[in-house]
Structure formats: structure tokens, C-alpha cells
Amino acid sequence: MTTTETRTSPDETTRFAASARADALARRLEQGIDALIAFARPLTEAQWKTPIPKDGRPVGVVVHHVASVLPLEIQLAQALAKGEPITGVTWDAVHEMNAGHAKENAAVTKEEAIDLLRRNAAAATAAIRALTDAELATAATISLYADAPLTCQFMLEDHAVRHSYHHLAKVQGALKS
């Protein structure tokens, strides 16, 4: 395994990635999380509690949701990296999990959500940077996608990396109305 040293700014601590591809994925996740935090931080209490159209969850719950599912998204990608199939995960189960999260976290504060987002994103990017090119390319079947054999990299891109961008767009749309 080759190791690539990377820096995102002259002041930042040096980080090591197992591959340039892994580092690029981690950087894209960081950029999405940073954008979501930058948007969420100045929101008023009323904006934080604004329901997202067609979704129904308040903005703050959705920000917390992005943070709370990062560990699971990374765990699923790591399973794929080992060639382990993902079974029993369905869209119905995802929707049920999201509804339960919304009920349990209806009163989440901005500070709690942003803190969890930072902590879970740091752990997620470290886990991504630990993946080799071979692991990123490893595929196994995923029940969420009709048992299609998909790669670890696909799972990361479609879930952990994309998630903050997806919900940021929904939150921005909700607050433009």
C-alpha cells in the first residue's frame, strides 16, 4: 500500500491517505459538510424549525440526520470494501429509520447538530482515507439496489459524500419559500 501525504491548507495538520482516490473522496465529503455547517450556523430559531416541503422534517432535524447517519454509511462502505454483501437494507427500512430519528430528535439544537456533524465527519473522513484503491473498487451485492453488485466507492459517493449536498439543497429550497 502506498501512502500519500496531503494538506488542505498550510496551517492544517498533515493527514495521510491510503490513496489519492480515497483522499479525493474524503475532501469532497469535507466540502459538503463544511457547506452545510456554513449554511446552518447563522440560521434563526424559526428557520431551524422550518419544515422541509414534501419531507416534513424541520431543517434542524435534517442537519442532525446527516450527522447521525454518517457512521452507518461508512460502516456499509467498509463492508463492501471487504467484499461483504449488504443484505436486509431496504428503502422502507431507511424511511422507517429516518422517521424514528425525526421523532427522537425533534428538539435538537443547532449546537448539538453541528457538533455531531463535525465529530462524525472527522471520523468518516479518516475512515475513507484509510481505504485503498483496491478496497474502493471492491464490489458486492447491495439489497438497497436490488442486489446489484456495486463498489465501495459507489456507496461512498451515493451516500456519505452526496448526503450533505443533497440535504443542503433541500434546506436552501425550504428557506427560499
Q: pLDDT tens, 90-108?
A: 999 999 999 999 999 999 9
The CA distance from 161 to 146, in Å, is 21
E runs forming strands in the chain: 4-6, 15-17, 139-142, 148-151
State the average pLDDT over residues 8-21. 60
The CA distance from 140 to 149, in Å, is 5
State the average pLDDT over residues 64-83. 97
Domain that holds residue 150: 4-176
Mean pLDDT of the chain: 91
Q: Could you tell me the pLDDT band of residue 15, with boundaries at 50, 70 and 90?
A: low
What is the pTM (predicted TM-score) of this model?
0.88
Q: Could you tell me the pLDDT band of residue 18, with boundaries at 50, 70 and 90?
A: confident
CATH number at residue 69: 1.20.120.450
Domain count across the chain: 1
- Angle (CA) 80 105 95, round 5°: 45
State the average pLDDT over residues 21-30. 96
